[in-house]
A and B are shown apart, each in its own frame.
Chain A
């Protein structure tokens, strides 16, 4: 009898011990995740909920808020600046993502193999990342200025340009190009680094096998490198589109959204609503709309890239 009992008790004790161990493991895991969870909750979830709450109210700076749903959202349609800013932001995002991705991938391929001096180039390409973005924007503002910058003088000396020229506010195209040049300079190295880690994660044996099978350089790139790099490409493209849709610093400092509002991004419109018009409710509503658009873009983007990779 007792043996039967012991036999049935033993697995039960064992099970309890396993459950206890699992629970402890779970608890330890939760503890490890807690600091991040608190940070995310405090600095992302709470402000996010607050923004949504604000967007439903007329929210003066000091007086108590009053519910005015859905006024802040219907007002977005009346705001002419929003229309042009959406168009500009999308145009900028597409142009920049294509150029930045091309440049970053090109640089990553250039410095992929370990050779003499490659470390120097990797560092040189990454170095602009060490300059703060606002400082980098101011640096470009100074460099491109006709009054104080050296670039125009140099171009005049070369005979490329003649007379006065304003890169940052002469025309919409030159203003956009100046801002894009700045972003390419500042971020190409960083994206190169991420792509480089993806490239180096591809086992050399696969390249060798492809070469033995008689594949050329282009075939290897298309059939081996690109497919295996896809998860990294998905990450880089998501970061680029998100960053571009939220563009602010470069236009705020370099072009002030001009000339004639041709480089006014959507975040600049949010800034104007919040800090110039002091209409926090309206700013929150545009922010929520932008967030929804961002989520949709990211879901579609990741969905497409994942499906292809699987």
Chain B
């Protein structure tokens, strides 16, 4: 036991040592210049596992047509923020690194990315890319990161189970109440089949899938400045109450209560779930298992489509000395060529709003629907987002657990205070 602890202590000490040395060091990265350079530089790019496939597709296509060569390294989602923090402390950040779009404000505020305001303004695409992502990478009016990928939350439903349950597979729910009715009908099939599924022990999963219903119902979650929680609202309480009733009557699979994220996709891929909100990028991953899926927008209680515009933002590492070359890559990823031939071709959602309908998307009406949702969706913005909402020890997860499985009213009112306090911590 001791040897393991000593190892862990040594690792932590090394991080602290590196952080200290980094903190003491005085040199700063190369000053930014507006030009993008393609001179055969070797660029390192870090990304989280969830974005690995897209980042690698970008890099492969870029490497084929450019002298600069980008090498992608992916890290497990949960360990990624810690990896970035220790690299920053050691002043050894990669030339480029991506971040979950909701964490981007924190990294921007900590100065982990170089300021790209002038370059971005000169690129000519600033007004054509996902505004929520641009906002996420902005701190004190300066731009630090640009959109990298978009992943939106949608309702995914199993067409075969719908048909078996006597529902029309071409008529997905148009309100959240209808969603609950349809889930209950599918649940009546019995056996291993359940009406729906959600990540009841996962703060990030609940944000991503429940908040669009709150937004669609006219409510909000946090204020625009990202410093005050607004979860103590009727809309939030009603959305939680609906999901709670689905869990209580057994429509939601019992594992929903303990789902912390890792087996969420697996549950939907099993083909035993009628309808569930989830990431749009899972459409292909579920259909790979031979399940026919339908896609619909997430709605408010009585209608009103919305979505959580998630995904990743990417910027140039603050300690990189190859910022001009790194910008060349970033600028290229936002080009029409990259967005259509890399993203749209692989059934992804383009980060360019002007390319939502393109030659590939028109082949599948479901993709057109997903792409069109981006304009209706939101991305919450807060510097302390991770500590307040996504982390397993966050006050939000405690609130979720209370609202779904405990004393809902107390959980929401106490949670609102605790989350606001967490958001306002400097």
Are A and B part of the same complex?
yes
> Bound state CA distance, A170 and B106, in angstroms?
33
Decide if A47 touches B14 in the complex (CB within 8 Å): yes
Residues from chain A with a CB closer than 8 A to the CB of B91 are 62
> Bound state CA distance, A264 and B397, in angstroms?
13
Decide if A61 touches B22 in the complex (CB within 8 Å): yes
Q: For the complex, is A147 an interface residue (Cβ under 8 Å from B)?
A: yes
> Bound state CA distance, A169 and B255, in angstroms?
10
Decide if A62 touches B112 in the complex (CB within 8 Å): yes
Decide if B1 touches A248 in the complex (CB within 8 Å): no
Residues from chain B with a CB closer than 8 A to the CB of A243 are 1-2, 4-5
Nearest chain A CB to B380's CB is how many angstroms away? 17
Near B by CB (< 8 A), chain A positions 262-288 give 264, 268-269, 271-272, 274-278, 280, 284
Q: For the complex, is A207 an interface residue (Cβ under 8 Å from B)?
A: no
Q: For the complex, is A163 an interface residue (Cβ under 8 Å from B)?
A: yes
Contact of B13 among A47, A63, A274 (CB under 8 A): A47
Decide if B16 touches A54 in the complex (CB within 8 Å): yes
Known: A240-B1, A246-B5, A272-B393. A258 touches B260 (CB 8 A): yes
Work out how many contacts link A and B, with CB atoms closer than 8 A: 134
> Bound state CA distance, A275 and B254, in angstroms?
32
Known: A133-B4, A147-B266, A258-B392. A284 touches B16 (CB 8 A): yes
Decide if B110 touches A61 in the complex (CB within 8 Å): yes
Q: Is the interface of B mostly helix, strand, loop or mixed?
A: helix
Decide if B17 touches A50 in the complex (CB within 8 Å): yes
Count of chain B residues near A, Cβ 8 A: 50
Decide if A43 touches B88 in the complex (CB within 8 Å): no
Near B by CB (< 8 A), chain A positions 40-98 give 43-44, 46-48, 50-51, 53-54, 59-65, 81
- 17 inter-chain pairs at a CB distance below 8 angstroms, sorted by A residue, are A47-B13, A50-B13, A62-B91, A65-B23, A187-B1, A240-B1, A243-B2, A256-B260, A258-B397, A259-B258, A260-B398, A261-B398, A264-B393, A276-B391, A276-B393, A277-B425, A278-B106
Starting from the known contacts A81-B393, A261-B398, A280-B16, 12 additional A-B residue pairs (CB-CB under 8 Å) come to A53-B20, A61-B22, A62-B112, A62-B318, A145-B263, A147-B263, A147-B267, A164-B253, A164-B254, A169-B258, A259-B201, A280-B19
Q: Mark B residues whose CB is within 8 Å of A.
A: 1-2, 4-5, 8-10, 13-17, 19-20, 22-24, 81-82, 85-86, 88-89, 91, 106, 110-112, 201, 253-255, 257-258, 260, 263, 266-267, 318-319, 384, 386-387, 391-393, 397-398, 401, 425
